[in-house]
């Protein structure tokens, strides 16, 4: 019966097989389209018995957003990713690894603690270098840390992803604690968010010490985002103000009206002032040893109480020490 399950997975899923030393690791990868219980979701996708699915869960062969889940009634949300592993996954062990073993990064390298928590939301000051959610190359992510944190207090709880920030960007990252609020916010996130504030260290000195940048953003064949005047792209609006400067760098307070992929990084490059440490988008200097971008404040309207939720993360001291 187990062999039948794997065969059905291969036929019925949007399969994505990854290999370690030539051996398959994932037998199936599923994208969640709407909220559902994990057991019921897998029963439909795998076309096998309830006992077989429960066995997969008990043997730690089911992952949600890169983290092992054994709870059969674990609630899934839209855009979650469910993977089946051919082998049981040990606690804290990565499911995949790059071909070059020397580049393998162990999991749980960071100390991640909430900077805000109430009955509905939990937020962290995400360290630079940590993914918001897993990707194909790395399973260590902020979601995994928050799942472990919430389940240390209540085994039935989980975080729900509201937004993401780039791996190399630090700062405020917020999760909902229940699926109802997650769904309500995800449907109208841009309308509910009142403030997205960042601090950026960029190369050079601005002639205009404050201003508003308006561009249209597109992606090329290599997934590199670029700014254009072509209105068929995604409109990006960024407001900036120079807070400090010296002969080489400027520290900016930035507020964005739109949350486009790599928005600040791309628009600063287009201005001739790339974010320091951002070799992907034209930076030639790396005085911080990291990307010079930090998400300092996020404000949004609670969809039920209509209260304004304000969450902040202090600007890294290294940013100001440059000046």
Active site residues: 166
Between CA 73 and CA 39 the distance in angstroms is: 6
Handedness of CA 21, 27, 33, 39 (dihedral sign): negative
Q: Report the SS3 class of residue 307.
A: coil
Q: Which residues contact 61 (CB under 8 A, 6 or more apart)?
A: 84, 85, 86, 87, 88, 89
Say if residues 84 and 56 touch (Cβ distance below 8 Å).
yes
Two tokens, residue 161: 């992803």
Q: Sheet of 62-64: strands edge to edge?
A: 26-31, 81-85, 62-64, 67-68
Two tokens, residue 229: 């005047």
For 258, which DSSP code? S
Say if residues 209 and 241 touch (Cβ distance below 8 Å).
yes
Dihedral (Cα; 43, 48, 52, 58), 10-degree rounding? -30
What is the DSSP track for 33-49? -S-EEHHHHHHHHH-S-
Other Cβ atoms within 10 Å of 92 Cβ, number: 13
What is the DSSP track for 154-194? -TT---EE-----TT-EEEEEEESSHHHHHHHHHTHHHHEE
171, β-bridge pairs: 126, 295
Dihedral (Cα; 41, 15, 219, 294), 10-degree rounding? 60
Between CA 160 and CA 215 the distance in angstroms is: 31
């Amino acid at each position: 019966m187990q062999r039948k399950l794997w065969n059905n997975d291969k036929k019925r899923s949007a399969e994505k097989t990854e290999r370690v030393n030539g051996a398959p690791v994932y037998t199936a990868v599923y994208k969640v389209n709407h909220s559902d219980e994990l057991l019921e979701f897998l029963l439909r996708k795998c076309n096998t018995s309830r006992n077989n699915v429960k066995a997969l869960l008990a043997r730690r062969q089911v992952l949600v957003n890169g983290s092992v889940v054994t709870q059969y009634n674990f609630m899934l949300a839209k855009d979650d990713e469910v993977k089946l592993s051919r082998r049981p996954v040990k606690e804290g062990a990565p499911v995949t690894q790059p071909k070059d073993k020397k580049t393998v990064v162990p999991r749980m390298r960071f100390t991640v603690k909430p900077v805000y928590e109430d009955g509905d939301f939990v937020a962290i000051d995400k360290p630079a270098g940590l993914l918001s959610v897993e990707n194909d190359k790395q399973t260590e992510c902020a979601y995994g840390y928050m799942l472990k944190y919430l389940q240390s207090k209540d085994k039935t709880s989980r975080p729900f992803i509201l937004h993401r920030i780039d791996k190399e960007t630090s700062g405020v990252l917020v999760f909902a604690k229940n699926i109802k609020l997650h769904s309500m916010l995800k449907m109208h996130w841009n309308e509910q968010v009142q403030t997205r504030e960042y601090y950026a260290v960029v190369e050079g000195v601005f002639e205009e010490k404050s201003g508003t940048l308006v561009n249209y953003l597109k992606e090329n064949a290599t997934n590199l985002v670029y700014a254009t005047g072509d209105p068929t792209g995604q409109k990006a609006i960024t407001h900036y103000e120079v807070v400090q400067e010296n002969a080489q760098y400027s520290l900016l307070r930035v507020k964005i009206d739109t949350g486009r992929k790599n928005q600040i990084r791309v628009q600063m490059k287009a201005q001739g002032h790339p974010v320091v440490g951002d070799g992907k988008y034209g930076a030639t200097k790396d005085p911080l040893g990291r990307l010079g971008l930090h998400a300092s404040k996020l404000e949004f309207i609670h969809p039920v109480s209509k209260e304004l939720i304000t969450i902040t993360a202090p600007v890294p001291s290294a940013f100001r020490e440059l000046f």
